[in-house]
Amino acid sequence: MSEGTGASDLTLMGLVHDLNNVFETISEAADIVSGDPEWAAVAAAILRSVDRGRRIVGRYADQSRTGPELEVVVDRAVTFLQDFLTHLTGVKVKVQRKVPAGLRLQGDSSDWERVFMNLFLNAAQAMRESGGGEIEVQSKLKDGAVEVRVSDNGPGIPEAILAKIFTARFSTRTKQAGLGLHIVHTIVRDNGGTVTAANRPEGTGAVFTITAPALVPE
């Protein structure tokens, strides 16, 4: 055992190795079925999910922190949303992006992808009964911080639950739900930022506003 490498580090390295082997097997299986036109779209969605899994695992293997680019993070989260929606018949969600190139966040790319994936899924679920709707993502640099506004034109958030919206296991749907927005709050907080929930002042729908430290190039 080399100096500075403890038992827990070796355990983690072994877990990363084994998970990458699992991802490789899934990728090979998806490649095989991708040649069948009937399953090509499903295979592509599987490969994208494997890529996301590898990025999440990769955060433990690669300790470099160059800071993720917000535009890339949002694009990946939108792709995840569209993959998810293929399993919800009759639900269509359009995502409008107004994200300037070059904005970088402090923290890990996979964590920030989880933030926006959960916000998008939450909005899609809220708009499900009406057959879908529109999500808008706007961002800007303000006083050394990145401010991101994610809004939708769904039914909005009942005033009675606004104060509880980020509480773990709190949900208006099922017992299995209720972790998505708590995950959002936890990741944003752990990266030195804040997130708030409100109803849009114009029209119907909810709006989540994230303010997080920007990564300033040295």
Residue 142's φ and ψ, nearest 5 degrees, are -140, 115
**Residue for token pair 């509880």:** 164
DSSP bridge partners of 177: none
Per-position pLDDT tens, the chain of length 218: 444 445 555 566 667 767 877 888 898 888 888 889 999 998 899 989 888 888 777 765 554 456 789 999 999 999 999 988 887 778 899 999 999 998 999 888 889 999 999 999 999 988 988 888 999 999 999 888 999 999 999 999 998 888 889 887 555 554 444 578 999 999 999 999 999 999 998 878 999 999 999 987 55
DSSP bridge partners of 206: 199
What number of helices (H) and strands (E) belong to the chain?
Answer: 5, 5
Q: Among residues 103, 200, 189, 92, which one has the least CA distance to residue 145?
A: 103
Predicted TM-score (pTM) of the model is: 0.70
If phi over 0 gives left and psi between -120 and 50 gives alpha, with beta otherwise, what is residue 3?
Answer: beta
Pairing of strands 92-98, 132-142: parallel
Distances (CA, A) of 42 to 21, 33, 35, 113, 191: 21, 9, 11, 21, 34
Asked if residue 68 lies in contact with residue 62, where contact means CB atoms within 8 angstroms, the answer is: no
CA 55/CA 183 separation, integer angstroms: 18
CATH class label, 70-213: alpha beta
